[in-house]
A = this chain, B = another copy of it.
Amino acid sequence: MDNYVRIFDTTLRDGEQSPGASLDAAEKLEIARQLARLGVDIIEAGFPAASPGDAEAVRRIATEVGNSREGARVPIIAGLARANATDIDTCWEAIRPAVHPRIHTFLATSDIHLEHKLKMTREQVVARVGEMVARAKQCCDDVEFSPEDAGRSDPEFLYRVLEVAINAGATTLNIPDTVGYTTPEEFGALIAGVIKNTPGIERVVVSAHCHDDLGLATANTLAGIRAGARQVEVTVNGIGERAGNTSLEEVVMTLRTRQSFYGLTTGIDTTQIARTSRLVSNYTSIPVQPNKAIVGANAFAHEAGIHQDGMLKHHLTYEIMRPETVGVAQSNLVLGKHSGRHALQVRLTELGYQMSDADLQQAFQRFKELADKKKVVTDADLAALIADEFYQPPEVFALEDIQVTCGRHGMPTATVRLRGPDERTTVRAAVGTGPVDAAYKAIDAIVNAPNTLVEYSVHAVTEGIDALGEVTVRLQSHEPEPRTLGGHGADTDIIVASAKAYLAALNKLVAVEEHAPRLHAQHSEMSASNS
């Protein structure tokens, strides 16, 4: 068994199934680029059969990220497919532009799933797995198979299905703990059992896929690795349905920090972790709590006063890793109002943004506006500014102007001017319970897309009261089916940022309504029906 652990990132597939995290194609592409810089081995880019939009996003990632060496290597681009011909063919069409494409197909193996969901006998499952893995193999050499609900399957039957998958050409076998129920001891034993009892297992890579419902995803994944798994399926910041998936940064940094214990390596450039975390948090609108391991704001912070009793000289005895190792800069003050276009371009390039001259000009204008208001413009400000300017959904409605009056005893009033799809501008005023409510009511009066705001939050991007405020909203549409959509906006004026974020989400909603309803890859690998 080798000592290299493959990092299979499923932020764009399983992670995107977090409520409200839905990403558009441009956001997915930018995240995929950053994952390549981070050095993940495999990017699971989506579930092409879920919708034409998903297929297109996977195809763009396969074409652009699957053909360029942003990190140490060209990553494998994987797509998910149920074990049926249509899904597999659709998946293949989406991923084939990549240098290294992978089809990831799955079918349940537990009796409860066979009986209630699949309405299939064990013999039918065995036949289907053999047939569909072989079909995928005809498309590409690299085929991954996941036995859904492996943990509740009859072990002997599980081993038999896995053997069939190997013989049909599978090169990776992924063992999911679909509902996040197992303890580390149990999950380790599950992986050990598969490795011990499946004929031909030495020819394939075994993979661990865990969920964090009990807070044990990282420990379960590590137990799987100890038992012999050499691929782990993870997401940035541990996002995903319910309590999320195993977090990439925790597994990677444990293997690195405790190299003496595990004796294993990964291909991750850990200095890209902090930046990747911020990017995913911004685009998915899912915040990271301050006390999150590795990537939380406090992960490397100590309460004031720590240095008082002279222990500073022994700080290494209290720190098990250095902030720089995960890319948390000690000081990231970089630009101010006197910085020129060249300085901005150099910094953006260092941060990994590739821009056309026109885009750079546009970014420079926004930068100068911001620098006029703020004394220093940090890397975090730049990332928020770029996200706000370039990674927004198509503007069906654009914010031309907003004006707000509010206060303790006043009647909060907002006046909004939007430019609509027909290029006509409309102005509406509304009174609300507060300035944001008033602004949203004024926007609603123009856009007319019924929805419920399910989350609203604001974070200051950097320190100081003149900071850029970043607003994220999630709203739920009512028709034709409930869908959760996120939007973000950044401005030094949080009312303006709030209006931008709401409009971004509404623009997604309006755009979605023009397309067919979209099938979601629900519940990780497990819930899409297989008919």
Contact = CB atoms under 8 A, between A and B. Distances in A.
B465 A437 contact: yes
Contacts of A488: none
Contacts of A436: 465, 469, 494
A481 B303 CA distance: 12
B293 A214 contact: yes
A257 B401 contact: no
Contact of A404 (B178, B216, B407): B407
A531 to B, nearest CB: 9
Interface in A271-318: 286-294, 296-306, 308-311, 313-314, 317-318
What copy number does this chain have within its complex? 2
A19 B459 contact: no
A455 B460 contact: yes
A19 to B, nearest CB: 5
Given A407-B402, A492-B437, A216 B254 contact: yes
Nearest to A440: B465
Contacts of A452: 463-464
A69 interface: no
Contact of A459 (B237, B406, B457, B492): B457
B469 A318 contact: no
B19 A304 contact: yes
A117 interface: yes
Interface stretch (A87-95, A238-246, A338-346): A238-246
A526 B406 contact: no
A183 interface: yes
Interface string A71-101: 0000000000000000000000000000000
Interface string A174-190: 00001111011110000
A32 interface: no
B298 A215 contact: no
Contact of A527 (B311, B321, B481, B526): B311
A118 B485 CA distance: 56
A409 B401 contact: yes
A387 interface: no
28 contacts: A19-B301, A19-B304, A179-B320, A183-B258, A184-B222, A213-B294, A215-B218, A215-B219, A215-B247, A216-B250, A216-B254, A241-B301, A242-B299, A243-B293, A286-B289, A288-B289, A303-B522, A305-B481, A373-B433, A403-B406, A404-B435, A407-B496, A412-B493, A433-B492, A434-B469, A434-B494, A437-B465, A456-B460
Given A178-B318, A213-B321, A216-B250, 10 more contacts: A19-B302, A212-B291, A212-B293, A286-B291, A289-B292, A302-B523, A304-B481, A406-B495, A441-B465, A456-B460
